[in-house]
Chain A
Amino acid sequence: MSFHKHHLDNGLPIIAELSDEVFSSAVGFFVRTGSRDETPDVAGVSHFLEHMVFKGTSKYTADDVNRIFDEIGAKYNASTSEEVTLFYAAVLPEYLPRAFELLASLMQPTLRGEDFDMEKQVILEEILMYEDMPTFTAYEKVMGAHFTDHPLGNSILGSNESITDLTVEQMRAYHASRYQTANITLAVAGRASWEEVLRLAERHCGDWPQGIPERRTDEAEAEGQLVVFPREGSLQQHVMQMAAAPAATDDLRYAADLLSVIVGDDAGSRLYWELVDPGHAEAAEIGYNEYDGSGTWMSYLSCAPEETLTNLGRIQAVFERVNQEGVSKEEIEQARNKVLSRIVLRSERPMGRLGSLGSNWVYRNEYRSVTDDLAAYRAITPDDIKRLLERYPLGQTTTVAVGPLEALA
């Protein structure tokens, strides 16, 4: 295992964690742009652009792109979050040059008008598809309700209206302003030679436009609200709640992650024993999400509508007890074992390593090996959790309910 890093002359950062013990190579372009970087008139453009990237360049048509990736057996895809648009491919090592060339060229797509009009239909279908999924609706609504007047509350998909009204010129302008070298990280994991990675990067990324796009990263101050979205005909009630948690650059993030496992992992956690094991709820979980400058405790409850209020009370009681008393050494030990084995298992595949390799660089400009991460979790004590809870107690600041209920009171 070896780590390498370099900046091209145009400012593009390149990082790689290479190993001969694996069978494949994974390459990813992490673009530091997402829904939080959008203005209301282009809501959803980051995600729509992620689709449009695969429509090709002056050299490759959309059909070419689909065909070539399949010809080399690439496992490839892309994703858009509030903060990062990621394009990635996992291939056999002999196909890395071909995959690299294609993926890199797509970062400067042509964005043709006719492709834009056709793909708009697909995006509108995607929005409708997610509207048929209550958990997704709850996520989008709770982000909007928690981050009011803060860009993290922007919808990733945008709305039917914003997508319908979006023009290809607006998308081109957005692309030009965000896909600049200081805003993109190239990461490679798995079986490859560093010299080859450098050569490929020079050849295919060397002429990319330079620039340092801005982003507002002040910490959100959620005031909290309760919003209910009645959904006729549905049977189960879905509730998501949020409260402030450490940001991505905060050293407390490891403790926060561990605490979320102790309190709200899908099995064997305090919420599990209090709500799921006794059959009060189908799911009662809490997760920790880190962002640029902000963070959230996000809890999720799925239960029978008539049980909702009682269950929210049970969750509140669990949170209050943790906030007051902290957690035990044994709980830390147990959760740590779960987290450590998760890390090791995920890291055995280059595709699994690529995510944390890229994220560490995008968010913190640092490299962390698997060993570094394991050590960070091993070092956590009950006192660390106490310090964390003093600053970021578990809470239910913002509540969004989606399901049969008309009101929550």
Chain B
Amino acid sequence: MADQLVQSHQLDNGLTLLVEPMRAVQSAAFSLSVPAGVVYEEEGLNGSSAVLCDLMMRGAGDLDTRALSDRLDRLGLQRGESVGWNHMSLSGATLAENLIPALELYADIVQRPQLPEDEFAPVVAGVQQSLRATEDEPRQKVIIELRQRCYDAPWGRPTDGSLAHLASISLESVRALYERSMRPNGAILGIAGNVDFDDVCEAVVSAFEGWEAGPAVPIVRGERGLRHDHIPSDSNQTHIGLAYDAVPYRDEDYYAAWAAVSVLSGGSSSRLFTEVRERRGLCYSVYATLNSLLEEGRVLAYAGTTPERAQETLDVTVQEIRKLTEGIEEAELDRVKAGAKSALIMQQESTGSRASSMVRDWFHLRRTVPLEEVHRRIDSLTVNDVLRYVREHPALDLTLLTIGPEALEVPDVVS
């Protein structure tokens, strides 16, 4: 692993700046996470974060929507905006010399967005259409619906919004959401690339120091959806979504949990791929992935298959998940470690991945984790560590959601 130096600075208003200079690249990337995710939406207004996110990009400071977009394009910025559960994330990458001018524009976007009235209806129309497009894609929809059934509200909320709520969202409610949730305390700005820390720090302080801190927004925990559910559809395949509890990123057992999911669904020699696809030919797509919120985590799994073979696919998938507790081979864990090592090293070739990883570390742990430390922690895992973890966290309480012509039977829980 190459030497890595991450420098940080916290502004008086609470914004945390993290910078990782990378000398071998020409680019620089940033990721700005603001605590304005869907969990801060008002009840019954799911989609207001998605609307706000789009609306913020439509004019800021003195620049109207067209002028702002042109300025960002002239800087060659490859940009992306996304709404998550805890954060709204604004990110971009371009040639390193264009980074600071781009950040200055983003300072306006978060502090002085115009949120123009005449753009509101078009933005809502865009959000509505993208929700309708998701309705047409059962493979995407099943995971969104699964989250609503395996996490308590509001952590299971769809990040793109709900069609049924759109009509209730007004410009005033979106402006109110902006006032309430777009704040620097709790915001994290990660920057990686061919940059100098002092230059970046000076520019960031000057552009963002005027951003006023606000009170933290309380979140009220609500209910989750049905644990076993089916959404009828005349789709060609039955789309199966499965979830069970896991530890979050900050837990000391996180790497053991991650290794367990990787044995299940890491590479192409992993168990789900081998048993469900290679040996039985049941699926083209089958996977499991570890999902982490701040204080809780889940394993989310998916398989898509012909309706006639869906029950068998579900049974085999669940059987493989539960069989983890019976034993794991040393060689399986070694392969997981090899995959992690190369992924960590290759991460150093991407400014975008480094910027977002630093932000994720800071959000969950309040520090950045050097790649070398991640490597060491994964490398020191033993089969017994992983086995102990899966035995302490067996996949007994499964959440199951299917989309397709017919519902499936939940496999018996062997306790």
Query: Which of A's residues lie within 8 Å of B, judged by CB?
Result: 21-24, 54, 62-63, 66-67, 69-75, 90-92, 95, 118-126, 128-129, 131-134, 231-236, 267-268, 273, 276-282, 302-304, 333-335, 337-338, 340-342, 344-345, 348-350, 403
Contact = CB atoms under 8 A, between A and B. Distances in A.
23 contacts: A22-B24, A23-B349, A24-B349, A63-B274, A66-B268, A70-B267, A71-B338, A74-B342, A75-B343, A125-B237, A126-B284, A128-B306, A129-B237, A234-B135, A236-B136, A276-B126, A277-B65, A279-B123, A281-B129, A304-B129, A337-B73, A341-B77, A349-B350
B74 interface: yes
A23 B304 CA distance: 36
Contact of A129 (B121, B277, B304): B304
Interface string B102-133: 00000000000000000101111110011011
B345 interface: yes
B129 A122 contact: no
A63 B130 CA distance: 41
Contacts of B268: 54, 66, 69-70
Contact of B278 (A62, A92, A131): A62
Given A24-B342, A67-B335, A126-B284, A341 B78 contact: yes
Contact of B27 (A22, A23, A335, A348): A348
A335 B129 CA distance: 27
Nearest to A404: B136
B26 A348 contact: yes
A112 to B, nearest CB: 13
B94 to A, nearest CB: 5
A149 B63 CA distance: 51
Contacts of A341: 27, 76-78, 93-95, 98
Interface string B345-384: 1101111100000000000000000000000000000000
B269 A67 contact: yes
A333 B71 CA distance: 12
Contact of A119 (B274, B281, B282): B281
A134 B304 contact: no
User: Chain B, interface size: which category?
Assistant: 35 or more
Interface in B73-98: 73-79, 93-95, 98
- Give the interface centre of A132, A268, A340 by most chain B CB atoms within 10 Å: A132
- Give the interface centre of B129, B139, B351 by most chain A CB atoms within 10 Å: B129
Q: Which 7 A-B pairs have the closest CB atoms?
A: A279-B122, A121-B281, A341-B76, A279-B125, A73-B342, A282-B129, A70-B267
A125 B267 contact: no
Nearest to B335: A70
B78 A345 contact: yes
Given A122-B277, A122-B284, A349-B346, 17 more contacts: A24-B345, A66-B267, A67-B269, A69-B267, A74-B342, A119-B281, A131-B236, A132-B138, A134-B136, A233-B233, A233-B234, A279-B124, A302-B129, A302-B133, A344-B95, A345-B93, A349-B350
- Give the interface centre of B98, B121, B267 by most chain A CB atoms within 10 Å: B267
A284 to B, nearest CB: 11
Interface string B31-68: 00000000000000000000000000010000001100
B399 interface: no
B136 A92 contact: no
Contacts of A235: 132-133, 135-136
B283 interface: yes
A121 B309 CA distance: 11
A280 B132 CA distance: 14
Nearest to B353: A349
- Give the interface centre of A23, A72, A403 by most chain B CB atoms within 10 Å: A23
A16 to B, nearest CB: 18
B137 A134 contact: yes
A212 B32 CA distance: 53
A334 B304 contact: no
Contacts of B341: 73, 92
B305 interface: yes
B8 interface: no
Contacts of B94: 341, 345
B130 A282 contact: yes
Given A279-B122, A282-B129, A234 B136 contact: yes
A60 to B, nearest CB: 12
A112 B349 CA distance: 39
A346 to B, nearest CB: 10
A235 B134 CA distance: 9
A23 B282 contact: no
- Give the interface centre of A90, A92, A268 by most chain B CB atoms within 10 Å: A268
Contact of A92 (B267, B305, B335, B345): B345
Nearest to A190: B349
Contacts of B69: 267-268
B241 to A, nearest CB: 14
A118 B283 CA distance: 11
Given A23-B345, A334-B73, A349-B346, A342 B335 contact: no
Contacts of B278: 62-63, 66, 118
A21 B347 CA distance: 14
B4 interface: no
B152 interface: no
Contacts of A91: 342
Contacts of B25: 348
B320 interface: no
B235 interface: yes
Given A66-B274, A129-B237, A279-B123, A23 B2 contact: yes
B161 interface: no
A189 B119 CA distance: 46
Contacts of B235: 132
B114 to A, nearest CB: 14
- Give the interface centre of B126, B239, B283, B351 by most chain A CB atoms within 10 Å: B126
B349 A349 contact: yes
Contacts of B139: 129, 132-133
